[in-house]
Every structure is written in structure tokens, then in C-alpha cells.
Amino acid sequence: MAMWTMRLADETTQDLVTVRPVVPRGAPGFDDASSDIDLIGHEYTAEPGIDVVQRVYTGADAVERVLEIMPDVLVVHTGIDEVNARDVSRQIQQWAPATKVLAVAAADDELLYTTVAAGASSALIVDRVSADLGDAARRLARGESLLPPRTACRLLNDVDAWAARSSDPLYPPPTLTSTEREVLAHLGAGEEPSWIASVFGVTGRLVNVHAGYAVAKLHRFMTGADSLATAGG
């Protein structure tokens, strides 16, 4: 039996969300340095509740600048190179955990999933400038995670596989609650959070919060596994 009831903070009290984007140069719809349009698709002063600070184009610059200003959300395009999106997400999680990482990609592919597993807390598929990005950033700052179908399905399958083969009593794999499993299963089937919410008589925000809990468990397991591997080496 899933337990959906919980108390959520009033989202109307959310402060201004600072967002730093890191995108590859020349990415369609994301790189128009000659204008005052940002990758959220609005003039810098026109997106309520969002403060987009200077965009950067490499992973190394992203990490350096995040450590300087500690934005609420770092938007990482998986097309960046040099220091890739996975390494950026991992480093931000380790060095600046208060900054949440939103991974954006043109496809729900292996790179997007491994970026989430490495430390990104939310993921969005975009192939052009999209107002959805601003909404996704606000939601992430409130603890909500958006997961496209393949990423949600892979997360659920991987957690089950780890649980089945793990024999380490000192560092067991993450255990998902029945609610988290239901959320991931429905998202993996391609259903929207609003539809899932209507089925269970809850809010879409609550669905996204439970997805966020599942992602956080994945991060704790991956971080612990990396630490054990380093110690063993």
C-alpha cells in the first residue's frame, strides 16, 4: 500500500531562484549571445521568480562559477565537452550540494541517465529554447524532480538489480518505498505527473517530490559505491 500523504511547504513562499546555465557553444536555441534572450526563452527580466546569471560554455567554468556564487540551480546541457555533464554533476554534488543540477538533453538517452546517476536531480528533454525550463528550475529548487520515461525506468530497474545482487551488509543498496516505485513505474510508462496525481488523488507536485526522493537514494548509493571503490583501490 502506497503512502502518499505528507505535508509540503507553501510553494507561494519560494524565494527568487538563481539559475546558472552551462550549454555547448552553438547549441540550437540555446546560444544567442547577441541578444538579451536566455536559454529559458524569455528576456532576462521577464521570467517571474527566475534570475538567470551569466551562462558558461564549458564544464570547468561551470564548476568554478558555481563555487563562487552558489546558485540554486545549475542547468547542464549533456552536449558540453571538456569536463562532461556527468563529471560536472558529480563534482557539484560533492563540493556544492546546496546547488541542484538540472540536466537537459536532446534525447532521453544513456548519457542523460548517467548524468542523473552522477548527481543531477532532475532531467528535461529539450530541442529548442523552452519556457518549460524555467518551470523545471523552480520545481527543482522546491525539491521536485522531473524524470523522462527512459531515465525513470532505468533508475527503477537498476535499483532492483543492485538489491538482487548486493551482499554487502555494511553498504546495502537503496530501498525504494512502494510510493516511489509506483511513481517511477508510471513515469517509465510515459505518463505525466499530472495524470499520475489524478489517479491517486494527490498533487503533481507530490508526485515529483517522491521522484526526487528516489533520485536522492540513487545518489547516496552511487556516492557510497564510489567511496568504497576508491578506498579499495
Q: What is the pLDDT of residues 6-47, one digit of tens each?
A: 444 555 444 678 887 787 776 655 555 544 444 444 444 445
Contact 23, 77 (CB under 8 A): yes
Confidence (pLDDT) at 43 = 44
- Distance (Å) of CA 20 to CA 53, 140, 163, 179: 5, 13, 36, 32
Contact 104, 126 (CB under 8 A): yes
Confidence (pLDDT) at 229 = 46
- What's the grid cell of residue 172? 546495502
Confidence (pLDDT) at 99 = 94
Q: Could you give the CA distance from residue 87 to residue 50 in angstroms, rounded to a whole number?
A: 26
Confidence (pLDDT) at 115 = 96
- From the candidate CATH numbers 3.40.50.2300, 3.40.640.10, 3.40.50.20, 3.40.50.2000, the one assigned to the domain spanning 11-141: 3.40.50.2300
Confidence label for 110 from pLDDT (cuts 50, 70 and 90): very high
Confidence (pLDDT) at 54 = 73
User: Any idea where the domains of the chain sit in the sequence?
Assistant: 11-141, 149-232
**What is the average per-residue pLDDT within 178-206?**
94
Q: What is the CA radius of gyration of the chain?
A: 18
Q: At residue 104, does pLDDT exceed 60?
A: yes
| CATH number for the segment(s) 149-232 | 1.10.10
Helix (H) or strand (E) holding 83: none
| Cell 527543482 -> residue | 140
Q: At residue 199, does pLDDT exceed 50?
A: yes
| Cell 537503496 -> residue | 174
